[in-house]
Amino acid sequence: MAVKIYDTTLRDGTQGEGISFSVDDKLKIAGRLVQMGFHWVEGGWPGSNPKDMEFFQRAREQEWARSHLTAFSSTCRVGQRPETDVIIQALLEAGTYWVTVFGKSWDLHVTEALNTTLDENLRIIRETIAYLVQQGRQVIFDAEHFFDGYKANPDYARAVLAAARDGGASWLVLCDTNGGSLPWEVQEITRQIGQEFALPLGIHCHNDGELAVANSLAAVQGGATMVQGTINGFGERCGNANLCSILPNLTFKMAAETIPREQLAHLTELSRYVSELANLHHPNNLPFVGKSAFAHKGGIHVSAILKNPGTYEHLNPELVGNERRVLVSELSGASNIVYKAEELGLDLDNISAEARAILQEIKELEHQGFQFEGAEGTLELMLRRAFENYQYPFNLVAFRVINEKREGERFHSEAVIKLQVGDEIIHTAAEGNGPVNALDRCLRKALEGVYPAIREMQLSDYKVRVLNEKAGTEANVRVLIETTDGHDSWNTVGVSENIIEASWQALVDSLAYGLLKRKKTSGPQE
């Protein structure tokens, strides 16, 4: 059995509360999904906003665009023709080979929401698809509210699918838009439709009943061969069907062919990467990919696990790129550190007491919210401090940041920094449009004279995450900074209960790492 995977993180996923991606983020995610073998990536709705249009303009130049990229749209509007409807013209302008068109398949929606006749709804579906096919597009038809529609008026729901088929759609996708269907209903209705229509079927579920994964699997049992969903189940209300759970269930539990098995070993990484770009916390209890998904508390479990992992694990965590964690010892990060140190060619056999202290510091930082994936620059600096006695190129003597606002005046931020570089003391000041920007400008101003290479380095990304949110403004804050010199980019991190201090740490590391990198590649020259 082969099941194709259709990702709509970048379109339906962004309907979730608090989820939005920049165009750059969307391009990065799309590239990664395609690389992992996802069959379709739905990039957005070009007719609905300029950001999505920009995405398609940039994405269609990718070599994978023709085979994997799809653009989403409604049909043409009631009373209009697709040839002249701006929505459909915007869809064509997006320039994708695949397009996904949704239409209403619940009679109630046609009369109550769309305010038109049942026949007119069939016409706009049929004519829109026919026109798009005529324009050389492959059309996937999303039958919105299909299961509710089928339960209310099965003949009309069938007529909608027939209109899409007659228009020339390649796929019929049955949508549980309100997310309230039960697995056995989904399975049985999918089975019936499969008997009546010769086209391949897809399934699109929402999680309002906490059944989106089960409903998607049930549809596959009923004959669907495409599953739509999102990474981490992002999506409106309670979310869309979570592909991070559907993929391993299909592949390892139901023996279906989905994306290549070796790519599934990157699933955990993908899941965390997408949360990171969305700037959302990655819940520990996420099935398969969460930090606690294979965590074992002490006692009976642990000794059994040591004898035979199958006793308390439903799946080998390595298959999805996750790892076993034993909560009593909190040993999880150590192997990452060892791996990284080995990668840097550091001598692990000869760990001094000082190195051990720094490793301990790394583990504590990790416990506070440090993340290796996002901040290799800082990690490398720490490891080199531990193993090679690395020294920062400058030392802080003092700094001060002042933020001021007076009635009717603009907000004002100013930073004053005093540094020691070698024997020299540098004392300078700068303004900025915020405290961190003032600090960044001031630090550069202080160091540019001694290290001209800093002029080539630019901050390219700045992210803030409150770690233990319930603590309010007393919480720990993590600042992630990406810096680029035009060729390469690197990431550094700072963690503190004070956002200015966390930003300072990340800023200092970003410049220090940039200088270290330069020294490594060009050899000693100072």
For residues 203, 206, 208 and 211, what is the CA-based torsion angle, rounded to 10 degrees? Answer: 40
Question: Based on CB atoms, which residue is closest to its own copies, 45 or 387?
Answer: 45
Q: How many residues bind its own copies (CB under 8 A)?
A: 125
Asked if 210 touches its own copies (CB under 8 A), the answer is yes
Asked if 376 touches its own copies (CB under 8 A), the answer is no
Which of 31, 168, 223, 287 is the binder for its own copies (CB under 8 A)? 287
Asked if 292 touches its own copies (CB under 8 A), the answer is yes
Segment lying near its own copies (by CB under 8 A), choices 27-35, 129-137, 190-198, 296-304 = 296-304
Asked if 83 touches its own copies (CB under 8 A), the answer is no
Asked if 372 touches its own copies (CB under 8 A), the answer is no
Secondary structure (H, E, C), 244-307: HHHHHHHHHHCCCECCCHHHHCCHHHHHHHHHHHCCCCCCCCCCCCCCCCCEECCCHHHHHHHH
Segment lying near its own copies (by CB under 8 A), choices 58-66, 86-94, 264-272, 466-474 = 466-474
For residues 267, 271, 274 and 275, what is the CA-based torsion angle, rounded to 10 degrees? Answer: -170
Asked if 413 touches its own copies (CB under 8 A), the answer is yes
In degrees, rounded to 5, the angle at the alpha carbon of residue 413 between the alpha carbons of residues 411 and 418 is 170
Picking from 92, 46, 2, 31, the residue whose alpha carbon sits closest to that of residue 274 is 31
Which of 92, 172, 211, 270 is the binder for its own copies (CB under 8 A)? 211
Least separation in angstroms between residue 392's CB and its own copies is 13
Residue 56 corresponds to which tokens in the numbers above? 């398609």
Residue 423 corresponds to which tokens in the numbers above? 């024997």
Least separation in angstroms between residue 191's CB and its own copies is 13
Segment lying near its own copies (by CB under 8 A), choices 90-98, 193-201, 255-263, 434-442 = 434-442
Asked if 65 touches its own copies (CB under 8 A), the answer is no
Picking from 43, 66, 38, the residue whose alpha carbon sits closest to that of residue 56 is 43
Asked if 474 touches its own copies (CB under 8 A), the answer is yes
Bridge partners for 432 per DSSP: 413
Asked if 254 touches its own copies (CB under 8 A), the answer is yes
Compute the Cα dihedral for 224, 228, 231, 237 and give only its sign: negative
3-state secondary structure (DSSP) of residue 417: strand
Which of 54, 93, 188, 208 is the binder for its own copies (CB under 8 A)? 208
Residues 112-141 that bind its own copies (CB under 8 A): 112-113
Which of 9, 121, 245, 492 is the binder for its own copies (CB under 8 A)? 245
Asked if 374 touches its own copies (CB under 8 A), the answer is yes
Segment lying near its own copies (by CB under 8 A), choices 1-9, 107-115, 163-171, 518-526 = 107-115
Question: Based on CB atoms, which residue is closest to its own copies, 2 or 398?
Answer: 398
Segment lying near its own copies (by CB under 8 A), choices 129-137, 166-174, 206-214, 515-523 = 206-214
At 514, phi and psi to the nearest 5? Answer: -60, -40
Which of 135, 335, 360, 433 is the binder for its own copies (CB under 8 A)? 433
Which residues make Cβ contacts (< 8 Å) with residue 255, sequence separation at least 6? 1
Residues 171-190 that bind its own copies (CB under 8 A): 177-180, 182-184
Which residues make Cβ contacts (< 8 Å) with residue 401, sequence separation at least 6? 413, 414, 415, 416, 435, 438, 439, 500
Asked if 352 touches its own copies (CB under 8 A), the answer is no
Which of 336, 496, 518, 519 is the binder for its own copies (CB under 8 A)? 496
Asked if 391 touches its own copies (CB under 8 A), the answer is no
Asked if 62 touches its own copies (CB under 8 A), the answer is no
Asked if 399 touches its own copies (CB under 8 A), the answer is yes
3-state secondary structure (DSSP) of residue 424: strand
Between the alpha carbon of residue 401 and those of residues 22, 151, 167, 278, 458, the distances in Å are 30, 64, 64, 30, 21
Q: How many residues does the chain have?
A: 526
Asked if 109 touches its own copies (CB under 8 A), the answer is yes
